[in-house]
Structure 1
Amino acid sequence: MMKISKLIKYNIVVVLALVQFSYGMHNDVKSLDADVVIYGGTSAAIASAVQLVRMNKSVLIVCPEKHIGGLSSSGLGFTDLGNKEVIGGISKEFYQEVYKHYQNKDAWNWQPREEYGNEGQGTTAIDDEFKTMWTFEPHVAEQIFENFIRENNISIHRDKWLDREKGVKVANGKITSIAMLDGTIYEAKIFIDATYEGDLMAAAGVNYHVGREANSVYNEQWNGVQKGVYHHSHNFQELNISPYIIPGDSTSGVLPRIATGRIGENGSGDNGVQAYNYRLCTTNAEGNIVPFEKPENYDSAQYELLRRIFKGGRHSMFGGGKIPNKKRDVNNVGPFSSDNIGMNYEYPEASYEKRKEILKEHIDYHKGLLYFWGHDESVPERFRTSIKKWGLAKDEFTDNGHWPYQIYVREARRMIGEFVMTDNEILGKSKVLKPIGMGSYAMDSHNVQRYITKEGYVQNEGDLGIEPDAPYQIHLGTILPKQEECRNLLVPAAVSSSHIAFGSIRMEPVFMILGQSAGTLAGMAINEDQEIHEVDYDSLKNKLLKDGQVLSY
């Protein structure tokens, strides 16, 4: 009887355990923790996570994205580079992995390797000395990021959307937990906001800026409104084109996609955000072409301004850089192109639902533009014929209609942190005493607004490109919120900088550099049982250098 009783008790325990296990299997885990939780799936997020694992820290990536890597794996394969010598650490490792991939002859499935050009963004695209390659296909970049995740056993929770209204719990100046819309809660000692939008930063109550500061705020030269400044060809400079439905008749109404409000004085601040677009991956490789289709809501009247540009003799349409396998990373070119000027101002702070509306409007505009180029009679026939030989690449973004997963968020929120980078630091007028990485690309702002001049013509404003004389250092304080605002958050993407300084910092290689530095700082703070603001800079500097970061040039 005793043996039977014990057996019954044993079976009851087993059954209860199985029921508990089954319950757990059929209900989402509601609370998870790690040393560091990273919100966002950008290249900065991956670099942060890899660094933390190398420092033996537990880390979780929690991200809205299903496909990781941000713009690096969403069409921006013609890298905005600058000086390659100041790109080190995990950022450089990424481009070395690209190089390794394209050393394999099987990687060249749509063109022979020897046919591919070797110039990109002012530098050699394939660098045999450094064993790096700076141009690549989107799916190759995504696979490299996935390899980083797999090789480092990084836990990543995808399709997780931060509850921005009430999901971020803060106590005594520290984030204690963050909750997703599905109810999952994540706890950590330190959090990293690696989103382009700065959603976690904002929800945590950290101060930030959206738009352009006046030059007077930080004693800058190139911030704020810049009427009459034409650094590129993305304007109507010599084209006196009427903005009105009936040319010259202001009573007839204004054409679509031209603002009618008052434009500020030069150097003044506003709420304008430089234009977004999608970096399409296109091809003319026979057998890999998905033709540009007419969108359901196509309205050729949206492109009347482009008709007038063609009539005026400007025909720039299809810009972009060559990437492997007969593909192009297509970017904005000319005064009216894929940059959807003035239509993104609400995006940085918009709700998820509103952002979806803004994204749909951008997609509809861009698809309509592609169809217009190939079919509207105002487009010279030779250009219509030429563009019809191109299409979206069939082997890219295969689960998204071959359209990029991520819009190019060129800027959104920018933290106002312990140190604000300005054009003074970029141009070498002010010293940076605590560098955690370097940048070198031009301060590059795309157009912010399209307006009507006092002479009654249409014009674009905000497109700038100011080259620094030399690579510049990026301050530690750019990734640190002010200590009194939050003591356990790092922000390597929506960094503390002015609008125009961010125009240079925002490049993908730099985001990976800053992501690694953020991971390093978090790891050291945990090791030393210190707060992130209290970690000794010299110790941090030595660790960054040891791990391949470049801090001086």
Structure 2
Amino acid sequence: MLIVLAILYLYPAHAQLDKSVPVQENTADIIIYGGTSAAIIAAVEAKKSGKSVIVVSPDKHLGGLTSGGLGWTDTGNKSVIGGLAREFYHRVYLHYNTDGAWNWQKRGEYGTKGQGSRDMDGESRTMWIFEPHVAENIFEGFLDEFDIRVDKEQWLDREKGVIMDNGKIISITTLDGQQYHGKVYIDATYEGDLMASAGVSYHVGREASDVYGEEWNGVQTGVLHHKHWFKSDISPYVIPGDPSSGLLPRVSGEHPGEKGSGDHKIQAYCFRSCLTNHPSNRIPFPKPESYDPMNYELLARSFATGRDDWFEKFDVMPNHKTDTNNHGPLSSDNIGMNYDYPDASYERRREIIKEHEEYQKGLYWFVANDPRVPAEIQTEMRNWGLAKDEFIDNGNWSHQIYVREARRMIGDYVMTENELLKKRPTTKSIGMGSYTMDSHNVQRYVKADGFVQNEGDIGVNTKGPYQISYGSLIPKKEECRNLLVPVCVSASHIAFGSIRMEPVFMLLAQSATVAAALAIDLDVPVQDVPYDQLKTILEERGQVLEK
């Protein structure tokens, strides 16, 4: 019951307009749909650009993954993170330089490296590792400082809530009947719901490698990067070695596809868990009502082979907390259970989120309690639990599932691995990325030899920062002329695997909003914004456009 209550606020239970809510007309220069980190940064830039703005947020809590547990920031080369994104991390730095920030730990006791550099960079006055509530408080602080209006828990009516005329969005309406009118709209959601409802082209899944002339797109059977694969021969069957006994849960009996072929499948989702080993702040892992130890049988068999790296991604954050991410062949990534999420109804997405939460909570319960877990791992796991002072209105569980990939726009310009690897030049840079092209596993299947294996986990270094094109933020002109999309950007699956980092979403959101303001001032479609003017303003804002 607790799980259901914790999830219900994520998506509306109603399927039609709530007639009890007063309907009002809401007008602003820029309407932003979403409650992510990108949405808040876009709103701040709108105010700095002198534009009125309303954030229409389906979320109750603001900041998306940045405030949802992803506090051990995936950055790559930090020097290319500029503008308001860098300002956010500067405010994190300021927070942790106050005595009040260290309630469970002394400042001198904490110090670690995150993604290749120190957690706190005194020279640049930034900090890149932080607790979830700290991030949310900073985003709320932005709203107060810039007097930004946010209408929370307002869900777009995806069926008939986007009114178009002559290639422009005229208004959007939420399920509560609230109608919003703007000159330019920004879709800052992880799912791309406004983009899709406006009739903009998009892709879900992996393109075949020959679509854009890429090496790392499409099915990647036999490619084993990172450590998230089965290193030993492990049977996928209920009775080991006996196909007639049936497959274990979460193992697909389908052929994985030919190497390089495209499919509809997407990389796995999970929750980035904020755990703690501080006794005064620790809540024992809850046992889900739906708990089934068979969901973790493959992990037990992996442990039995001597695998002992369970704690490798318990990345340490301040105050004895972690950003715990997926690690290993069977971990928090719920492989294969999210394929229909991008285009699913709100109700179906709610079901998927609930299933992911129950799976991951069951995983932690299994490691802490099942007798098949090695004693040294189980003993250590029992020292950990949920943080009592995080996500306090959601059972101490993150309010944001990690949507690593959903819809991706097919826009005016498609970013591919060729641009990221500098095999082709990128035009009209509005920011830079640098993180490894990173895809988590996409499927778990049975190999021809009868043993289980994961597929889709790719990590390819971009060999330095790369430019991101303005064209990847805008739809084709014939589809929509007043929409910008800084999160579900126009990129191939493997290129998006690098772009999809929270600092990059923030810097792209700022650049998109500068372009929106220019489009309003010049009364032109977003596709016709003069790049020379855009570039000048972006550089004035501190964006890094080239290295």
TM-score normalized with structure 1 length: 0.94
Aligned to 1:202: 196
Shift of 1:315: 2.7
Aligned to 1:163: 157
Aligned-partner residue type, residue 283 of structure 1? T
Aligned to 1:52: 46
Q: Matched residues in 1 for 2:441 and 2:542: separation?
A: 36
Q: Matched residues in 1 for 2:21 and 2:530: separation?
A: 44
Aligned to 1:375: 369
Aligned to 2:235: 242
Shift of 1:320: 2.8
Query: Are 2:365 and 1:388 aligned?
Result: no
Aligned-partner residue type, residue 361 of structure 1? E
Equivalent position to 1:483, from 466, 477, 480: 477
Q: Matched residues in 2 for 1:45 and 1:412: separation?
A: 17
TM-score normalized with structure 2 length: 0.95
**Preserved contact between residue 112 and residue 316 of structure 2 (Cα < 8 Å):** no
Equivalent position to 1:276, from 264, 269, 272: 269
Aligned to 1:525: 519
Q: Matched residues in 1 for 2:117 and 2:437: separation?
A: 17
**Preserved contact between residue 85 and residue 503 of structure 2 (Cα < 8 Å):** yes
Aligned to 1:93: 87
Name the count of aligned residue pairs.
527
Shift of 1:313: 1.2
Aligned to 2:250: 257
Q: Matched residues in 2 for 1:487 and 1:389: separation?
A: 54
Shift of 1:460: 0.2
Query: Where does the alignment leave 5 or more consecutive residues of structure 1 unmatched?
Result: 1-25
Larger Rg: 1
**Preserved contact between residue 320 and residue 332 of structure 1 (Cα < 8 Å):** no
**Preserved contact between residue 192 and residue 490 of structure 1 (Cα < 8 Å):** yes
SS at match of 1:91: helix
Equivalent position to 2:288, from 275, 291, 295: 295
Query: Are 2:128 and 1:141 aligned?
Result: no
1:267-346 to 2 correspondence within 5 Å?
A: 267-318=260-311, 319-346=313-340
Aligned to 2:506: 512
Query: Are 2:166 and 1:172 aligned?
Result: yes
Aligned to 2:62: 68
Q: Matched residues in 1 for 2:351 and 2:208: separation?
A: 30
Shift of 1:27: 5.7
The range that moved more, 315-324 or 380-389, is 315-324
Shift of 1:518: 0.7
Aligned-partner residue type, residue 117 of structure 2? T
Q: Matched residues in 2 for 1:125 and 1:148: separation?
A: 23
SS at match of 1:74: coil
Shift of 1:269: 0.5
Query: Are 2:246 and 1:214 aligned?
Result: no
Aligned to 1:503: 497
Aligned to 1:132: 126
SS at match of 2:211: helix
| Bigger share in helix | 1
Q: Matched residues in 2 for 1:28 and 1:79: separation?
A: 40
Aligned to 2:7: none
The Cα offsets for residues 464-488 of structure 1, whole Å up to 9 and x where unpaired, read as 1111111000000111000000000
Aligned to 2:11: none
The Cα offsets for residues 392-427 of structure 1, whole Å up to 9 and x where unpaired, read as 111100100000000000000000000000000111
Aligned to 2:410: 416
Shift of 1:230: 1.3
Aligned-partner residue type, residue 296 of structure 1? E
The Cα offsets for residues 58-108 of structure 1, whole Å up to 9 and x where unpaired, read as 000001101000100000000001001000000000000000000012211
Shift of 1:147: 0.5
Shift of 1:263: 1.3
Aligned to 1:398: 392
Aligned-partner residue type, residue 278 of structure 1? F
1:447-466 to 2 correspondence within 5 Å?
A: 447-466=441-460
SS at match of 1:72: coil
The Cα offsets for residues 235-279 of structure 1, whole Å up to 9 and x where unpaired, read as 01x310011111111111111110111111111111110000000
Q: Matched residues in 2 for 1:74 and 1:418: separation?
A: 31
Q: Matched residues in 2 for 1:302 and 1:534: separation?
A: 52
SS at match of 1:92: helix
Q: Matched residues in 2 for 1:27 and 1:137: separation?
A: 35
SS at match of 1:216: coil
Aligned-partner residue type, residue 228 of structure 1? G
Q: Matched residues in 1 for 2:134 and 2:151: separation?
A: 21
The Cα offsets for residues 339-359 of structure 1, whole Å up to 9 and x where unpaired, read as 000000010000000001101
Aligned-partner residue type, residue 249 of structure 1? D
**Preserved contact between residue 309 and residue 315 of structure 1 (Cα < 8 Å):** no
Aligned to 2:436: 442
Identity of paired residues, percent?
60
Aligned to 1:4: none
Aligned-partner residue type, residue 525 of structure 1? A
Aligned to 1:535: 529
Equivalent position to 2:184, from 181, 190, 193: 190
SS at match of 2:54: strand
Aligned-partner residue type, residue 254 of structure 1? L
**Preserved contact between residue 234 and residue 335 of structure 1 (Cα < 8 Å):** yes
Query: Where does the alignment leave 5 or more consecutive residues of structure 2 unmatched?
Result: 1-19
The Cα offsets for residues 324-370 of structure 1, whole Å up to 9 and x where unpaired, read as 11110000010000000000001000000000110110011001001
Query: Are 2:345 and 1:351 aligned?
Result: yes
Aligned-partner residue type, residue 491 of structure 2? S
The range that moved more, 456-465 or 318-327, is 318-327
**Preserved contact between residue 23 and residue 177 of structure 2 (Cα < 8 Å):** no
